[in-house]
Amino acid sequence: MSKVIVTLLILAVILGSVAVVVLYRAERSRSELPVLGQVGAFTMTDQYGRPFTDADMKGKLSVVEFFFTSCRGPCPIMNGYLAELYRAFDEAEQVQFVSCSVEPAVDAGARLAEYAAQFGVDDQRWRFLTGPMETVVQVCEGYFMLPADDLPGNHSTRFALVYRENGIRAYYSGTDAASVNVLRTHLKGMLEGLGAMVTEAEG
């Protein structure tokens, strides 16, 4: 056997080992994200005037934020990052984005639809929600464990990742590019896991 063939075989073994390690790390990273909380029952209304409930999150990967349309501070930055993710995962129907207004007395109907359009939203993969303030507080503080004492101005700037059976798996800074990139990586890894589960179920 020539030295060239031996070298190629060694390289193939090394590359195969690297691939196994990468896949193992991706799977371990996905499984190591703990369940930090659980999203309970709620009903709100989206920018299309359609009801949106906790049931609409089950079986999906949801990125959730709290914002308000007249915010001139962190909200444009946060939604700019979400718009990037919305476009990056445009072919992944299992990934959705959920923006809950913390100023529901102002943010309703056409106002939410106009705001969504500013970020290029043209389907139901990114839902902008409004509802009674008590519901907003319950979802924000009760389910996501984020501050809701002085809304709308003192709303959280964190993104929350909700996976499968509405378990809250991680939080990210919605104003920090590096943190959003970690979210992007987690979405990719978990999306692969959801795809595998769908394949197994169909088989």
**pLDDT (tens digit per residue) in 154-194:** 899 999 999 989 999 999 999 999 999 999 999 999 988 76
Is the pLDDT reported for residue 59 higher than 50? yes
Residue 21: φ, ψ to 5°: -65, -45
**Which pLDDT value is given to residue 23?**
38
Are 168 and 128 in contact by the 8 Å Cβ rule? The answer is no
The whole-chain average pLDDT of the chain stands at 85
Of the pLDDT bands very low, low, confident and very high (cuts 50, 70, 90), residue 195 is: low
CB 144, CB 171: distance < 8 Å: no
Give the tens place of pLDDT for each residue, 106-143.
998 899 999 999 999 999 999 999 999 999 999 999 99
Q: pLDDT tens across 32-52, in order?
A: 689 999 999 999 999 999 999
| CA–CA separation, 125 and 13 (whole Å) | 42
For residue 14, what are the CA distances in angstroms to 5, 23, 73, 88, 180? 14, 14, 50, 32, 32
Band the pLDDT of 15: cuts 50, 70, 90.
very low
Instruction: Please tell me the pTM assigned to this model.
Output: 0.81
pLDDT value of position 164:
84
Cβ(108)–Cβ(70) under 8 Å? Answer: no
Alpha helices in the chain (DSSP H): 3-32, 75-88, 110-118, 133-137, 177-202
